[in-house]
Amino acid sequence: MPAPLILAAVLAQAQVPGSADDAQLERIRKALAEAPAITVSSPVQREGLVFRVTVHAPQLVRPIWDDWSRVPSYIRPSMPSYHFEFLQQVTPEEFRAGTLYPVGLPIGTLLELFGRQVRASHQKIQEERARKEVRRALADLLACRADPARPGC
């Protein structure tokens, strides 16, 4: 019993070559034989040095006191709500002010700001080193072009 079902499924999936396929093939051949509507010219070969520059826009740095919220920081807890509720339950009344509503500088934000400043100065140092290396390599290249008999050229 399963053999005839499998045979019927295989025969049903078999493709019979028809005139529709031939017509589509002929249409594709005709389209390929025609001149293309858009031609792309090959890139121009230039002689000499090619310099490429990547420009990055500065990121918007918000001040650390700007928290983009309408709720004042002395009301809004600086912790997740479940942690705040837990502290409310386990902290005695006389110690809640310092625990639940800490007042002070946002150390995390200050550390992020310090990290950005260190990263920026590190990047400036790396850029300056790269500029010096490029200047040195360009000077060597121009010196070799001026005097090809020079050693190292």
Q: Which of residues 47 and 31 earns the better pLDDT score?
A: 31
pLDDT band at 129 (very low <50, low <70, confident <90, very high): very high
Expressed as residue numbers, the domain containing 99 is 73-104
Q: Is residue 79 domain-shared with residue 117, that is, in the same domain?
A: no
Alpha carbon 86 to chain centroid, angstroms: 39
Judge whether 132 and 109 are in contact, CB under 8 Å: no
Based on the fold, state whether residues 88 and 119 are members of the same structural domain. no
Confidence (pLDDT) at 133 = 95
Both 81 and 110 in a single domain? Answer: no
Residues 90 and 116 grouped into a single domain? no
Single residue among 104, 125, 145 that ends a domain in this structure: 104
Residue 151 in any domain: the answer is yes
The conformational region for residue 109 under phi > 0 = left, psi -120 to 50 = alpha, else beta, is alpha
Higher pLDDT, 101 or 86: 86
Within-domain flag for 42? no
- Check whether 65 has a pLDDT greater than 70: no
- Mean pLDDT of the residues in the chain: 79
Rounded to whole angstroms, the Cα distance separating 110 from 63 reads 10
| Residue 101 DSSP symbol | S
Mean pLDDT for 95-124 is: 81
Task: State the Cα–Cα distance between residues 141 and 153, nearest whole angstrom.
Answer: 8
Does 74 or 128 have the greater pLDDT score? Answer: 128
Percent of the chain with pLDDT over 70: 78
Q: Would you state the pLDDT for residue 96?
A: 74
Burial 61-91, CB ≥16 within 10 A → b, else e: eeeeeeeeeeeeeeeebeeeeeebeeeeeee
The answer to whether residue 98 sits within a structural domain is yes
Q: Which of 6-20, 29-43, 128-142 has the highest mean pLDDT?
A: 128-142
pLDDT at 18: 58
Structural element, H or E, at residue 118:
helix 107-146
pLDDT at position 126: 95
Which residues, including other chains, have CB under 8 Å from residue 143's CB and lie 6 or more apart? 150, 153
Query: Quick check: 8 pLDDT over 90?
Result: no
Q: What is the mean pLDDT of residues 17-29?
A: 79
Is the model's pLDDT at 17 over the cut of 60?
no
User: What was the pLDDT predicted at 32?
Assistant: 84
As for how many domains the chain has, the answer is 2
